Amino acid sequence: GAVVSQHPSRVICKSGTSVKIECRSLDFQATTMFWYRQFPKQSLMLMATSNEGSKATYEQGVEKDKFLINHASLTLSTLTVTSAHPEDSSFYICSAVTGYEQYFGPGTRLTVT
């Protein structure tokens, strides 16, 4: 199957700082990637759709100025959590589309202290 990587796998940052998470499709090109957030013992919540070469599409209730998404190439999308607060602590997962299937990265555990 297709492989998607995320970096870092875990990050701890102080309140008020910004954190960048990278999502890469390793063996295929993806014009579309997705960013999800997952709270403990819950399902995945779609945050935004990342489109290569154009602006991301955000789901209702997701602040686009807080969660900056850049999809600069066909294999890389980044999510930057700006001015992070403790309530932003969560498990962030990206996925990349090939054909009609989505393949997920291993996730990034963000802890804001």
HSE on the CB side for 11, CA within 13 Å?
Answer: 25
* Among 19, 24, 25, 49, interactor with other proteins by CB under 8 A: 49
Nearer to other proteins, 16 or 106 (CB): 106
Residue 93 near residue 21, CB atoms below 8 Å: no
Specify whether the backbone of 86 is left (phi greater than 0), alpha (psi in -120 to 50) or beta. alpha
- By beta-carbon proximity to other proteins, the closer residue of 64 and 83 is 64
Q: Which residues between 63 and 102 bind other proteins (CB under 8 A)?
A: 91, 93, 95, 97, 100-102
Q: Which of residues 28-47 bind other proteins (CB under 8 A)?
A: 32, 34, 41-46
Smallest distance, Å, CB 68 to other proteins?
19
61: nearest Cα among 47, 50, 51? 47
Nearer to other proteins, 4 or 19 (CB): 4
